[in-house]
Chains A and B, each alone.
Chain A
Amino acid sequence: MTAKRIVVVSSGLSTPSSTRQLADRLAADAVSILAGRGVEAEVQTFELRDLAHDITNNLLLGFAPPKLEAALDAVAAADGLIAVTPIFTTSYAGLFKSFIDVVDTQALTDLPVLIGATGGTPRHSLAIDYAIRPLFTYLHAQPVTTGVYAATSDWGGTGAAGEGDGVRSLPDRIYRGAKDFADLVERTDRSSLVRDPFALEGPSGHLIGGLAGE
C-alpha cells in the first residue's frame, strides 16, 4: 500500500515558533496512530514564513513562484492537511489567510483537515471554530471536529488531566485531534484521485461536454 500523504502547514512567524511546535506534535501523533494501525504515512511540512514573499507575489500576479507552487501542489494532492496558525486580533494570521486565498478553490475538496491554533491567552480558543473552520467547510474540505488550541500557559502545564480550569491537558487534546484526523486519513484515497486538467492521458471524448458543438 502506498503511504498516506500528510501535509503540515504552519504559519508561525517567529523561529522557533510554538505554532510549528504544535504542528509537529499533531503530525507526530497522527503518524504514530496510523502506524499503530499498519498505515504508513509520510509528512511534508511547510512554514508559510518561508513562502511569505511568494504568497504576496501570487496575490499580485496570479501565479505561484516555484517554491510556493510545490507547497500548493503538495496540499492539493494530500490525504490530510494539518493547518496551524497563530491567532492574531481574534482570528487567523493574515499570512495564513493569504495562503488559503492562493489555494485553488477546488484543491481542498474532501481533504481531511486538522486545525490547530496558538495564542497568548486561552480566551481566543473558539477562533478555531468561528474563524478557521468556516474557511475549510467553504472549500469543501473535511475539518475534524476536534480543533487543538494551545495557549502560552499550556506549554507550562504538567500534562496531568484536570489541571487548571478543568480542560484536558494539551497532550491529551493533541492526541484526540490526531486520532480524529487519522480516522479520516486512514479511509481516504484522495491522493490517488486527484486529477490534473492538463494530463495528456485524459478521456478520449470531448473535454467540454456538449458545449462546443458535440
Chain B
Amino acid sequence: MQFGIFTVSDITEDPTTGRTPTEAERIQATLTIAKHAEEVGLDVFALGEHHNPPFWSSSPTTTLAYIAGQTSTLQLTTATTLITTNDPVKIAEDFAMLQHVSGGRVDLMLGRGNTGPVYPWFGKDIRQGLPLAMENYELLHRLWREDVVDWQGRFRTPLQGFTSTPRPLDGVPPFVWHGSIRTPEVAEQAASYGDGFFANHIFWPASHTQRMIALYRQRFEHHGHGTAAQAIVGLGGQVFMRKNSQDAVRDFRPYFDNAPVYGHGPSLEDFTQQTPLTVGSPQEVIDKTLGFRDYVGDYQRQLWLIDHAGLPLKTVLEQLDLLGEEVVPVLRREFAENRPAEVPDAPTHASLVAATYGDEAPRQATPKANRGDNLAGPSPYQDAKATPAAAPAGSAPVKTGSAFGPAATR
C-alpha cells in the first residue's frame, strides 16, 4: 500500500495573518514539501494542474521533473492531468520524458478539470467534456503502445505515421489512474482499460465514494482484468493533526472557515461528520483512515491533502512529520493485516516491467537512422519486433503499421 500527499497548488491568504504568499514562495514551498515527503518516508507526491490564478501549477511535468532530480524513491504523479484540454500527443511525450528522467518513478491521474473557462482557453468545448476525455485517452493509450500511429477522431487533427518520442521507458507506459468525483462513466473508462481509479474522497460523503468504487470494481471484473478485489483503487483524504485533538480543531478552524472550497459553508463539525476530513490527533487519523477499508475494500493508494487553504509551510512540514512518524507506520502495519493475497499492490514501473517481460530484458527502443519521415517503412525503430505484446484488453491490438504499409489496408 502506498501513502502520500497531493496538492492543488492554490495560493491562498493565511487567514490568521492576512498575508498571501507570492507565487515564488509557494512554488519553493511546494518543492520543499515534496522533498520532505520523501524524507519522512511517504511514497507518493501528486501535483494538480490549473491554468488560472490563484493557482500556480500550469506545467506539472516541469515541476515533477525537478522534484525527481531532488529525490530518489518518491513516486511522482498528478492530481489531475487534464485529459480534456491537453493534447494527448503532448501528454504522451511529456510523461514518457518524465519516466526517463525519473527512472520510472512516475504515473499519472487523468481528470476532466473543474474550471469551465479552461476549455475555451485551450480551444475546446466544455459541453464535449466527457467525449473529449474518452477520445483523448484512447489516443494517448495507443501512442504509448504503438510505435507508429495512424489515427482520426472528432476533436484533434488526424495523425498519419506519427511516433510519440521518446518511447516509454523500457517499453512500459506509465500506469494511469482515472480520477472523478461523481461521474460513473469515468469509473467505467478506468475499468474497461484495466487502469486504476482514484476517488477524490474529499468533498463528498463517504457513501458516494463507496458507490463509485463498487461500480468501478464490478466493471473491472466485467471487462476481464481480474476479480473485483484486484481492481486498483486510490483514495484522497484530508487531515489536520496536532498531538491532541482540541489543538488540532482550534488551529485548523480559521483555515477551514475561510478555505476556498468549503469556507463560509458548513461548520467544521458538520463537514467532518459528513466527509472523510479528519481534524484531530494522529490516532484519530489512523482510526478514520483504517475505516476507509470498510467501505471501499482493500486498496492501493492513500493520498492526503495537507497544504491548502493558506496553511503556512512550517505547519505543513509538521503535518508531514506526524504522518511519517506516527500515522503511516501504523497504517502500513494495520492495512497489511488480513489483506487477502490476491489483492495486488499499486503498480510501479518495476512491477509493470516484470509483468510485461517476465525474466526477459525489457525493450530498449533504438531508432533507425533518420530518413526524414516515418512513412516509408514499417517502423522507425530497429527493435520494433520487441514491442511488448501485453497491451491490456480493451485497447486496440498493437500495430506497427504506416499509412503506406500493411496498416493502410486495415
Query: Considering the chains assembled together, what is the distance between the CA atoms of A197 and B186 in angstroms?
Result: 12
Residues of A contacting B219 with CB < 8 Å?
Answer: 207
Least CB distance, B276 to chain A, in whole angstroms: 12
Residues of A contacting B135 with CB < 8 Å?
Answer: 211
Are A61 and B138 neighbours in the complex by a CB distance under 8 Å? Answer: no
Given contacts A207-B184, A212-B189, contact A63 B204 (CB under 8 A): yes
Least CB distance, A76 to chain B, in whole angstroms: 15
Least CB distance, B409 to chain A, in whole angstroms: 21
B138 to chain A: closest residue by CB = A213
Q: Which of A56, A65, A212 is close to B188, meaning CB atoms less than 8 Å apart?
A: A212
Are A212 and B134 neighbours in the complex by a CB distance under 8 Å? Answer: yes
The verdict on B354 contacting chain A, using a C-beta distance below 8 Å, is: no
Residues of B contacting A207 with CB < 8 Å?
Answer: 184-185, 188, 219
A60 to chain B: closest residue by CB = B265
The verdict on B193 contacting chain A, using a C-beta distance below 8 Å, is: yes
Are A65 and B270 neighbours in the complex by a CB distance under 8 Å? Answer: yes
Query: Considering the chains assembled together, what is the distance between the CA atoms of A60 and B205 in angstroms?
Result: 15
Residues of A contacting B205 with CB < 8 Å?
Answer: 63, 66
Least CB distance, B387 to chain A, in whole angstroms: 19
Residues of B contacting A1 with CB < 8 Å?
Answer: none
> What per-residue 1/0 map shows which CB atoms of B377-406 lie under 8 Å from chain A?
000000000000000001110000000000
Given contacts A61-B265, A62-B204, A213-B395, contact A198 B214 (CB under 8 A): yes
Q: Which of B138, B188, B203 is close to A206, meaning CB atoms less than 8 Å apart?
A: B188
B135 to chain A: closest residue by CB = A211
Residues of B contacting A200 with CB < 8 Å?
Answer: 214-215, 218
Residues of A contacting B189 with CB < 8 Å?
Answer: 208, 212
The verdict on B66 contacting chain A, using a C-beta distance below 8 Å, is: no
Query: Considering the chains assembled together, what is the distance between the CA atoms of A204 and B188 in angstroms?
Result: 12
Query: Considering the chains assembled together, what is the distance between the CA atoms of A19 and B261 in angstroms?
Result: 34
Count of chain A residues with Cβ under 8 Å from any Cβ of B?
20
A210 to chain B: closest residue by CB = B134
Query: Considering the chains assembled together, what is the distance between the CA atoms of A60 and B214 in angstroms?
Result: 27
The verdict on A214 contacting chain B, using a C-beta distance below 8 Å, is: yes
Within 8 A of A (CB), among B258-316: 261-262, 264-266, 270, 274
Q: Would you call the interface of chain A mostly helix, strand, loop, or mixed?
A: loop
Query: Considering the chains assembled together, what is the distance between the CA atoms of A56 and B219 in angstroms?
Result: 35
The verdict on A145 contacting chain B, using a C-beta distance below 8 Å, is: no
Residues of A contacting B214 with CB < 8 Å?
Answer: 198, 200
The verdict on A192 contacting chain B, using a C-beta distance below 8 Å, is: no
Are A197 and B184 neighbours in the complex by a CB distance under 8 Å? Answer: yes
Q: Which of A57, A204, A206 is close to B192, meaning CB atoms less than 8 Å apart?
A: A206
Are B394 and A212 neighbours in the complex by a CB distance under 8 Å? Answer: yes
Q: Which of B137, B264, B394 is close to A214, meaning CB atoms less than 8 Å apart?
A: B394
Within 8 A of A (CB), among B133-155: 134-135, 137-138, 141
Residues of A contacting B212 with CB < 8 Å?
Answer: 198
Are B131 and A212 neighbours in the complex by a CB distance under 8 Å? Answer: no
Residues of B contacting A56 with CB < 8 Å?
Answer: 265
Residues of B contacting A197 with CB < 8 Å?
Answer: 184
B186 to chain A: closest residue by CB = A208
Are B138 and A212 neighbours in the complex by a CB distance under 8 Å? Answer: yes
Residues of A contacting B193 with CB < 8 Å?
Answer: 212-213
Residues of B contacting A61 with CB < 8 Å?
Answer: 203, 261-262, 265-266
The verdict on B211 contacting chain A, using a C-beta distance below 8 Å, is: yes
Residues of A contacting B137 with CB < 8 Å?
Answer: 212
Residues of A contacting B156 with CB < 8 Å?
Answer: none
Within 8 A of B (CB), among A164-214: 197-198, 200, 204, 206-208, 211-214
Least CB distance, A61 to chain B, in whole angstroms: 6
Residues of B contacting A204 with CB < 8 Å?
Answer: 222
> What per-residue 1/0 map shows which CB atoms of A41-66 lie under 8 Å from chain B?
00000000000010011001111011
Are B264 and A60 neighbours in the complex by a CB distance under 8 Å? Answer: yes
Residues of B contacting A211 with CB < 8 Å?
Answer: 130-131, 134-135, 138
**B130, B141, B192 pick with most chain A CB within 10 angstroms:** B192
Least CB distance, A38 to chain B, in whole angstroms: 38
Q: Which of A53, A63, A198, A208 is close to B203, meaning CB atoms less than 8 Å apart?
A: A63
Query: Considering the chains assembled together, what is the distance between the CA atoms of A96 and B303 in angstroms?
Result: 39
Query: Considering the chains assembled together, what is the distance between the CA atoms of A57 and B394 in angstroms?
Result: 40
Query: Considering the chains assembled together, what is the distance between the CA atoms of A198 and B191 in angstroms?
Result: 14
* A–B pairs, 8, beta carbons within 8 Å: A57-B265, A61-B261, A63-B203, A63-B205, A65-B274, A197-B184, A207-B184, A214-B394
Question: What 4 A-B pairs come out closest when comparing CB atoms?
Answer: A211-B134, A60-B265, A207-B188, A198-B211
Known A213-B193, A213-B396; 12 more pairs at CB < 8 Å? A61-B203, A63-B205, A65-B266, A65-B270, A197-B184, A200-B214, A200-B218, A207-B188, A208-B134, A212-B188, A212-B193, A212-B394
